[in-house]
Amino acid sequence: MHSRCCIHSAGLWKWRACSSIQSKLGINCSKGEKMRKEKSQLREFLEVVSVLQWVWSFLFLGVACIILMVYLMFTSLWPLPTLCFVWLVMDWQTPERGGRGTTFVRRWSVWNLFRDYFPVKLVKTAELNPNKNYILGSHPHGIMCVGAFACFSTTSCGFTKLFPGLHSTLVILAGLFKIPLFREYLMGADLLPVSKPSLAHLLSQRGKGNAVVIVVGGAAESLASSPGVNTVVMKQRKGFVRTALEFGADLVPVYTFGENELFQQVIFTEGSVGRTLQDLFKKIMGFAPCLFVGERLGIIPYRRPVTTVVGSPISVPKTITPTQEEVDHYHKLYMEALTDLFHEHKVSCGLSESHELQII
C-alpha cells in the first residue's frame, strides 16, 4: 500500500512538472509565433520598399539626374556639373565597350527582397554550353521588365548557379547611357546599351560564355501589356537574328509568365488620339509613355508570381554577311521555338490550357 502511494505521488509530481513545462513552452511558443509574425510583417515592408526604390529608379532617376545637373549649373556649385559633362564626353564610348566591368549594383542584397515580393523564379529547361555565346530573346516586355531585370541583371535568381560558366548581360535603351550620373548606376548593374557596337563587343571581345539578353519587343510591346494578354511584338523584329548569324551566337527563347499581370494599363486602340500620341513620343524618345496603375501608390506592382523560363538553344552558324533568306529562316525557327516554350509551360505557370500566344 505504501509503495502504491509512493508510485502515485511520484507520478503526480511528474505530471505536474510536465504540465508546468508544457505551460512554459506554450508561452514561449506563443511569443515565438508573435515574433515570427512581426518579422514577417517587417519582411513584407522591406520587400515593398525594395520594389518602390526600383520603380522610382526605373521611372524617375534618369529625369532626376538631368534636373539636378541643370539646377547645379545655375548655382555656386556649377563646377560639379561641368566636370560631369566633361567626363561624359571623355567617357562617351565606355558603355559600348563593355562598361566598367563592375557588378556592385547587381550584387546588392536588396534584390533578394525585390525577388521575394512577387516572387520571381528562374526556370532552366536545357543546358547552355559555357564555351559558346548566346543571344537570349526575352518576352514579353511588360511595363517594366521585372522578370528580365531580376533574373539577368541581379544575382538574386541564381543565373550563374543554373548556368555555370555563363555571364548574363541585359541590354537596354542606348539613350539612357547619355545621362550623367544615371549611366554610372546602370553600368554598376552591368546593364549595357542595345546598340550594334555594344552587341559586337559583347559577342566578339569578351571570349565565350556570354549570354546577351535582348527584350525584343521593346517599347512597342509595352503598349500591349495587360493582365490576361500574351502578346509579343516580333514578326518584323529580325535584327537580333542577323546579329546572331554575324557572330555565330546561338539563339535562346525566353518567356516570362506573369510579367503582364503586374500592372493595369489603359490600352488605346490603334488610330485613336491617345495611341497616336504614344507612338509619336516613342518615335522621338525611344520609349513609350504607358498609362498604368499598380497595387499601391499607383506605381507599386501587384504581388503576382513571375516565372522566367529559359528555353533550349537554337544552333546558329557564323555567317559574316547573312542573306535575307537565312535571317528569315532562323527568325521562323525562333518564333516556333518561342511558341512551343509558351505552350509547354503555360499551365505549370498559372495559365489555362486555352491561353494562346499572339505574335504580331
Separation of alpha carbons 222 and 142, rounded Å: 5
Question: Does 28 reside within a domain?
Answer: no
Amino acid 21: pLDDT? 39
3-state secondary structure of 310: strand
Domain count, the chain: 1
SS3 232: strand
Is residue 293 within a helix (H) or strand (E), and if so which, with residue range? strand 292-293
Predicted pLDDT of residue 247: 96
Identify whether 16 is part of a domain: no
Distances (CA, A) of 101 to 5, 90, 98, 220: 81, 18, 7, 30
- CA angle, 70 as apex, 67 and 74 as ends, to 5°? 135
Q: Is residue 335 part of a domain?
A: yes
Rounded CA-CA distance 63/82 in Å is: 18
**Rounded distance between C-alpha atoms, residue 42 and residue 48, angstroms:** 10
Rounded to a whole number of angstroms, the distance between the first and last alpha carbons of the chain is 93
- C-alpha 148/C-alpha 136 separation (Å) is 10
286 in any annotated domain? yes
**pLDDT in the model for residue 290:** 67
- The answer to the question of residue 346 being in a domain is yes
Cα(308)–Cα(124) distance, integer angstroms = 9
Whether 35 is in a domain gets the answer: no
What is the model's pLDDT at position 75?
Answer: 94
CA 64 to chain centre: 22
Give pLDDT, residue 9. Answer: 42
Cell 571623355 identifies what position? 90
Q: pLDDT at position 29, please? A: 42
Q: How far apart are CA 234 and CA 230, in angstroms?
A: 13
**Of 51, 59, 54, nearest in space to 290 by CA:** 59
Q: Which domain holds residue 221?
A: 42-359
> For residue 197, is the peptide bond before it cis, meaning its omega torsion is within 30 degrees of 0?
no
pLDDT tens, N- to C-terminus, the chain (360 residues): 444 444 344 444 443 444 443 444 443 444 444 444 555 888 889 999 999 999 999 888 999 999 999 999 999 999 999 999 999 999 999 999 998 877 788 888 899 999 999 999 999 999 999 999 999 999 999 888 999 999 999 999 999 999 999 999 999 989 899 999 999 999 988 899 999 999 999 999 888 999 999 999 887 888 777 888 899 999 999 999 999 999 999 999 999 999 999 988 776 667 676 667 766 766 666 666 666 777 878 789 999 999 999 999 999 999 999 999 999 999 999 999 999 999 999 999 989 998 999 898
124 within domain boundaries: yes
Q: Which three cell numbers stand for residue 353?
A: 490550357
What is the value of pTM for the model shown? 0.83
Any idea what the Cα angle at residue 43 is, between residues 41 and 49, rounded to 5°?
Answer: 105
Write the CA distances from 302 to 152, 157, 260, 287, integer angstroms. Answer: 21, 19, 10, 23
Residue 42: what pLDDT? Answer: 86
In a domain, 330, yes or no: yes
